[in-house]
Structure 1
Amino acid sequence: MPLPLRTDACALDLLSLGALIHRLDPGATPFRKARTFDVHVSGGEYNVAANLADCFGLRTGIATAMANYPIGELVQGRVREMGVTPFYKHFEHDGVRGPNLATVYSDRGHGVRAPVVFYNRANEAAALLQTGDFDWSAVMAGGLRWFHSGGIFASLSDTIPDLIIDGMKAAKAQGAIVSFDLNYRAKLWKSVGGDKRAVETLRKIVANVDCLIGNEEDMQKGLGVKGPEVTKKDESKLNTDVFFDMIERTVKEFPNIKLVATTLREVHSTNRHDWAAVLWLEGQKYVSPTAHLDVIDRIGGGDGFASGTIYGLMSGRAPQQALNLGWAHGALLTTYHGDTTMATLAEVEAFAAGGGARVQR
C-alpha cells in the first residue's frame, strides 16, 4: 500500500526542521597537523532538503536558527546556493560568546586510519529554539507534502523535542507525511543526559512518525528496542535478516510507523566500503543491490540515501525503484567532498539502473 502522499500543488514538497552547522575539513590530514580547511555547510536535517532541491528539483525549506554574524552570513549564502527556502529564527551574536552556529570538525582519515569527528556546539543558537519560535501556519500556508527532522537536532536541548513534535503535528494537520532520522550520536546524547534521556526523548518523538530512518544500532540505543548484539564482529554488516528482525520488533512497539529504511555498510578500510540499503513498507521488504565504493568523504552518505528514497516515493516510483534511487544517490554522495549533493538526477537514475563508471564521452 503506497504512502498517502498529497498530490495537489503545494508551496513546499518538503520542510526540514533542524540545525545548520559548518564543518571544517582538513581532508586526509589529522587536525593536529592541519594548516588549511574546507568549510562545508551541513546539518543532518538540512542535507535532506538541500539534496532534494539541488539534485531532484523539489521545492524544499529549512526551519532553523540563524546567528547574525559573519559565519551566519556564510551559511545563509550556501543555503541560497542549494535552492532551499529558509525560515530563520534570528539570534544576535554578542561578538564574543555567541549564540553561535555549531562547528563540526572532521578529518577524513585514509586507508587503515579512520575518520575522526568532534564538535563545538557550545552556546549553539539552534539549542535555544523552543515551541512558538515558528508560526507553522505561516510556514506551511501554501501546503506541505513531507516534513522531516532528526535525532541529532533532538539531542541539542530540553526544548527541542517539544518543538519537533509541535512541527510534526502541524504537518500532520496539513496532510503531510512525517519522517524522522534517528541518527543516534552517543557523543551528543552524553552531553545532555546520556542513553536514558535519548530513549525517553526519541520514543516520545517517534510516536508521531510515519517514516523512520535508522539502523539496528539506532533502534536499540536510540529507541531501546531489544534485539541482537550490534557489536558482534563475526557477522556481516550487510545481513538484511538482522535489520528486518529489528524492524518487526520496532513496528510492534510503534504501530504508527508505515515505512522504515536504512543503509547497510561494510567498512573494509576508510576508502573501501560495501554499500547496500533496505526498505520496509507496510510489511513488504525490499533490498537494494550491493555496490563496492571507493570513498572520498563518507559524511552525508546516509542523508543522500534518505533524500533519494524520499524523492522516489514522492515522485510515484515503485518501492524498489525508490530504494534504488536512494541507494544510488547515497553512493554517489560519498564520491564528493562535503556533505551535500553534487549529483544530477540523470546520474542518479543511471547508476540506480545499473550504470557503471566508464568514461562518458
Structure 2
Amino acid sequence: MAAAPVIAFGELLMRLDTHGHERFVQSDGFRTTFTGGEANVAVALTQWGLPTRLVSRVPDHDIGTACLNHFRRYGVETDLVLRGGERLGILFVETGASQRGSRVIYDRLHSSLRSIDPGELNWNAILDGAGWFHFTGTAPALGANVVEALHDGLAAARERNVPVSFDCSFRSTLWSEDQAAGILPPLLEYVDVFVGSARDAQTFFGVPGEGEESMAGMAAKYDLRAVAYTKRIVAPTGINTYSASLRLDGCTYVSPALDVAVVDRIGTGDAFTAGLIRGLILEDPPQRTLDFSVAAAVLKHTVPGDFALLSVEEIQQLLDGPGVGSVRR
C-alpha cells in the first residue's frame, strides 16, 4: 500500500546565486532556482519514494507558475498551493570557498505567504489522508496571520493524529530571539518530532543543559516522541565535520562524525530532517534512521542548490563504506 503523503507548510522562495564563487559585488548575473526549507524536505522525500504535498501561497503570474513547475519536476505535488499576493520572496546567495563562508541576503517583505488570510486554507481537506505534517521556524517568523494559519493546521493535525515535525531553523534576519521565544513554545505543544540544538532549547524553550540532558528535558517538557540535535565543526581549512544525536522513545542514539568538503552548505539541515522523517515513517531501526539522516546531510554538502538530489542507494553506500567517492561506471 502506498505511503500517506507528507504535508509541508511554508514559504516558497526564488533563489538567486552568483556565478561560481563570485562575490555579490563582482557578479554580473544570477542563476535562478526555487527553494523553501519545508519544500527542500519534500523534494528529498520524493527522491526516496515518499509522496509529498506543498502547502503555501505564490503569486498568480508566470513567476509563481515557474516556481511550482520547478517543484513538480522533482515529483512534489503542488495542487494545494494557493495563488495570490504580490510577489515571491527572494534569497540572494554568494557561495563561499575554503575559509570564506557563504552569505545569504533575504528579500522577503510583502511576499505572497506573508499576506495570506488564514481562512483561505481548508485544513480539513489539506490533511485528509495525510501521513505527516512538517514545518520550520521560518514560517511563524512571517507574521501573526501566518502563525494563525499554522496553528489552525497543527490543531487539525492533532485532531487527526497526524504526526508533526518541527525544525527550529531560527533566522535572525527574519525576527529576534525574543520574538521567537514568545511565539514558538505554544506551537511546540502540537509537535511530535523536534530538530534543533541545545542552544535552541535554552534560548526559545527555557530548557537548560547540553546533549542528552537537553534532549531529555525537551522531550519531557513538550511530550515529544523524538528530539534530534545536529552538530557541525568547521576546521580552519573549511572542512566540515558533521554528526547528530537522537532521543527517540526515551533512548538516546549518537551518529558517527563524518568529514566533508563543502560545495553548498544550504539545505543540509533539511536533508537531515528528511532522513529523520523517512526513517520514522518506515519504522527503520533508530540507529539506522539517525545514521541515514547524517549521511544524507553530509552528501547534500556536495550538491549545488538547496535540494538533496540523492538516491537511497547513494546514501546507503556512504553508510556502508565500500566505494565512497569512487567513479561509478
Q: Are 2:163 and 1:177 equivalent residues in the alignment? A: yes
- Do the aligned partners of residues 222 and 106 (structure 1) sit closer, same or farther apart at CA in structure 2, a change above 3 Å counting? farther
1:138 and 1:167 mapped to 2: Cα distance? 11
Number of residue pairs aligned between Structure 1 and Structure 2: 326
> What is the CA distance between 1:133 and its match in structure 2?
1.7
Distance in 2, matches of 1:295 and 1:352, equals 19
Offset at residue 360 of structure 1 (A): 2.3
Query: Against the structure 1 CA distance between its residues 262 and 40, is the aligned structure 2 distance closer, same or farther, given a 3 Å change threshold?
Result: farther
| Residue-by-residue CA offset, 1:166-220 (whole Å, 9 max, x unaligned) | 111212222211111111111111xxxx222210100011111110011122223
In the alignment, what sits opposite 2:309? 342
CA-CA distance at 1:9 after TM superposition: 5.4
Deviation at 1:124, TM superposition (A): 0.9
Q: Which residue matches 1:235? A: none
Residue 184 of structure 1 contacts residue 222 of structure 1 at CA under 8 Å; is this kept in 2? no
1:110·1:270 contact (CA, 8 Å) conserved in 2?
no
TM-score between the two structures when normalised by the length of structure 2: 0.94
- Quote the residue 1:90 is aligned against: 83
Letter in 2 for 1:40: T
User: Residues 47-81 of structure 1, C-alpha deviation per residue, up to 9 Å, x if partnerless?
Assistant: 1111101x211111010011122321221110111
Q: Which amino acid aligns with 1:175?
A: N
1:284 is matched with 251
**1:1-361 superposed matches below 5 A:** 12-26=4-18, 27-53=20-46, 55-86=47-78, 87-92=80-85, 99-141=86-128, 143-189=129-175, 194-227=176-209, 242-254=210-222, 256-269=223-236, 271-355=238-322, 356-361=324-329
- The alpha-carbon deviation at position 270 of structure 1 amounts to 7.5
* Counterparts of 2:179 and 2:164, CA distance in 1: 23
Aligned equivalents of 1:40, 1:17: Cα separation in 2: 19
Partner-residue secondary structure (3-state), 2:59: strand
Provide the rounded CA distance (Å) in 2 between the counterparts of 1:168 and 1:270: 43
Of the structure 1 ranges 147-156 and 127-136, higher mean CA displacement relative to structure 2 is found in 127-136
The CA distance in 1 between the partners of 2:124 and 2:39, in whole Å, is 21
Per-residue deviation at 1:131? Answer: 2.4
CA deviations on 1:100-145 (whole Å, 9 max, x unpaired) are 110001211111212111100121111112422211222223x111
The residue type equivalent to 2:221 in the other structure is E
Q: Deviations over 1:296-352 (max 9, x none)?
A: 000000000110121112112101111111111111111011001221111112212
CA shift digits 1:147-172 (9 cap, x unpaired):
10110111011111221121112122
Q: Find the residue that maps to 1:15 and give its secondary structure.
A: strand
TM-score of the pair, normalised by structure 1: 0.86
Q: Could you say what secondary structure the match of 2:144 adopts?
A: coil
Counterparts of 2:171 and 2:93 in 1: how far apart (Å)?
15
Deviation at 1:269, TM superposition (A): 4.8
Gap regions ≥5 residues in structure 1: 1-7, 93-98, 228-241
Q: Is the 8 A contact 1:14 1:49 kept in 2?
A: yes
Question: Partners of 1:127 and 1:62 in 2: how far apart?
Answer: 16
Are the counterparts in 2 of residues 270 and 295 from structure 1 also a CA contact under 8 Å?
Answer: no
Counting aligned pairs with the same residue, the percent is 30
| Partners of 1:109 and 1:270 within 8 A in 2 | no
Residues 181 and 203 in structure 2, CA contact (< 8 A), matched pair in contact too: yes
Change (3 A) 1:270 1:58: farther
**Do the aligned partners of 1:309 and 1:326 also contact (CA within 8 Å) in 2?**
yes
Q: Which runs of 5+ in 2 are unaligned?
A: none
* Counterpart Cα distance in 1 of 2:212 and 2:232: 15
**Residue 226 of structure 1, CA deviation:** 3.4
Q: Secondary structure at the match of 2:147?
A: helix
Cα distance in 1 for partners of 2:117, 2:205 equals 23
- Rounded Cα–Cα distance in structure 2 between residues aligned with 1:122 and 1:25: 19
Alpha-carbon distance between aligned partners in 2 of 1:318 and 1:289, rounded to the nearest angstrom:
16
Could you tell me how far apart the structure 1 residues matched to 2:121 and 2:131 are? 18
Deviation at 1:225, TM superposition (A): 3.0
